[in-house]
Amino acid sequence: MTVVYLNGSFVPYEKAMVPVEDRGFLFADGIYEVIRVYGGKPFALQDHMLRLARSAELMELPFATSPAHLKEKALEALEQSGLKEATIYIQVTRGFAGPRVHDWPKDPQPTELILVRAYESAPKESITLASVPDQRWELCHIKSIGLYLNTRARMEARRRGKDDGLFVRDGIVTEASSSNFFAVHRGTLYTHPEDHRILPGITRRYVIRLAQDLGIPVKEEPFTYEWVLNADEAFITGTTSEVTPAVGLDHQPIGGGQPGPITLRLKEAYRELVRG
């Protein structure tokens, strides 16, 4: 059963409403997190709450309650749902404060939403990518609900017969539309460094640790689009995509069009970790 918690109470899905002038709706002035639940247990919930708090800080966005309170309510919502395989979606916006003006309200009433719903699907065995210019804002490290260009990247990829868009900014590959990106070259794992051009993915961090545990060298440094075309392997990481092999980019196969051995080892290790 889908469970909704909105501004202090659990409400039936159909009755969960926010005012038309909520600043999330008008200005995309809000932040969010997606957490995956495996076998009834949320994976890395605390990491997600810390990132939510960090996003709020970076956007000077107040909470009506607190990340700790929302964490408690998320667990309560999950319990109420009775779901074993699920996602928990948490969103906080600057809320409703009267007629639309750019000034942030002096007395904000943030909107806090938690949505728990069933998630039965598994990530695809492998995907293909289409490069898209990264025209997003310069604060990609904030998990903002302003995702128009992320959704556009996905649709552009679909139009070109690929599964997902891979962002390229000034010749440098940053990340995919809703996942981080890794490539393997001569046994070393590469991914874009954590800065304002990518989301500091939680899956990304866990995968880096797994690679280090497996003795796979990891380099967090920028690399170009052309470099990726010559990579031995590639994959994306994310809460719902987990570790998904990327076997093609634009018109070219990556790693002969097959998932590579390092990718598959990390995919397996990540599965074991989350199912723990």
Residue 249: beta bridge partners?
129, 252
Tokens of 6: 């909105």
Q: Looking at 3, 4, 31, 34, which residue binds ligand PDD (CB under 6 A)?
A: 34
Measure the CA–CA gap between 235 and 127, rounded to whole angstroms: 9
**Contacting residues for 181 by C-beta, under 8 A, at least 6 apart:** 166, 173, 174, 175, 191, 192, 234, 235, 236, 237, 246
CB-based contacts of 151: which residues, under 8 Å, 6+ apart?
Answer: 177
For residues 249 and 251, give the distance between their C-alpha atoms in angstroms, rounded to a whole number: 6
238 binds ligand PDD (CB under 6 A): yes
Whether 275 contacts 246, CB under 8 Å: no
* Token duo for residue 49: 């709450």
Query: Which of these ranges, 76-84, 93-101, 197-205, 258-266, lies near ligand PDD under the rule CB under 6 A?
Result: 197-205
Should residue 202 be labelled a site residue for ligand PDD when binding is judged by CB under 6 A? yes
Considering the complex, state which of residue 131 and residue 179 has its C-beta at the smaller distance from ligand PDD. 179
Q: Are 228 and 249 in contact (CB under 8 A)?
A: yes
Pick one of 240, 269, 273, 274: the residue that binds ligand PDD (CB under 6 A): 240
Phi, psi (5° rounding) for residue 257?
A: 80, 15
String of contacts with ligand PDD for each residue 168-187, x by CB under 6 A: -------x--xxx-------
Binding of ligand PDD at residue 91 (CB under 6 A)?
no
Please report whether residue 165 would count as binding ligand PDD according to CB under 6 A: no
Nearer to ligand PDD, 10 or 89 (CB): 89
Considering the complex, state which of residue 31 and residue 77 has its C-beta at the smaller distance from ligand PDD: 31
Residue 143 annotated in active site? yes
Question: Quick check: 177 and 150 in contact, CB under 8 A?
Answer: yes
Out of 15, 71, 73, 143, the active site residue is 143
The window from 2-10, 119-127, 194-202, 255-263 that contacts ligand PDD (CB under 6 A) reads 194-202
List residues near ligand PDD by CB under 6 A.
34, 150, 175, 178-180, 199, 201-204, 237-240
What are the catalytic residues?
A: 143
